[in-house]
Amino acid sequence: MSATIIVYTTPHCGYCRMAKQLLTSRGWTFREVDVADDPAARATLVATTGRKTVPQIFIGHQPIGGFEELKALDDSGALARLVAQTRDPQPDSGSTRHE
């Protein structure tokens, strides 16, 4: 299963471009949602994240912020862990399946 990464963007947004480049450089696919012409989606995004800028990036269902937050997480190594957790649900190590 691949990680669900969603990047909310607008066209001509430099931070959006940098965020997408970072994710692509790591080999992670993502879904891009352009909210430029969708005021309702943008309002929902602001309500959900508390932030008015784009990009807004979600790893799984977790809003992590914009490009600068993405970069900080990447620099610390936390981003790769977050993506891996989202991508690979931990097996139920305490149980054995009998079929």
Ligand X SMILES: N[C@@H](CCC(=O)N[C@@H](CS)C(=O)NCC(=O)O)C(=O)O
* Interface contacts to ligand X, rule CB under 6 A: 13-15, 53-55, 66-68
Q: Which residue is nearest to ligand X (CB)?
A: 66
User: From the CB of 92, what's the least distance to ligand X, in Å?
Assistant: 37
User: From the CB of 20, what's the least distance to ligand X, in Å?
Assistant: 12
> 1 is written with which tokens?
């299963």
Which DSSP letter does residue 54 get?
Answer: S
User: From the CB of 15, what's the least distance to ligand X, in Å?
Assistant: 4
Which of 53, 87 has the CB closer to ligand X?
53
Which of 63, 66 has the CB closer to ligand X?
66
Which DSSP letter does residue 6 get?
Answer: E
SS3 of 37-49: the string is CCHHHHHHHHHHH
In the block, residue with structure tokens 């008015």? 52
CB-based burial label for 88 (10 Å; 0-12, 13-18, 19+): exposed
User: From the CB of 76, what's the least distance to ligand X, in Å?
Assistant: 16
Which of 14, 89 has the CB closer to ligand X?
14
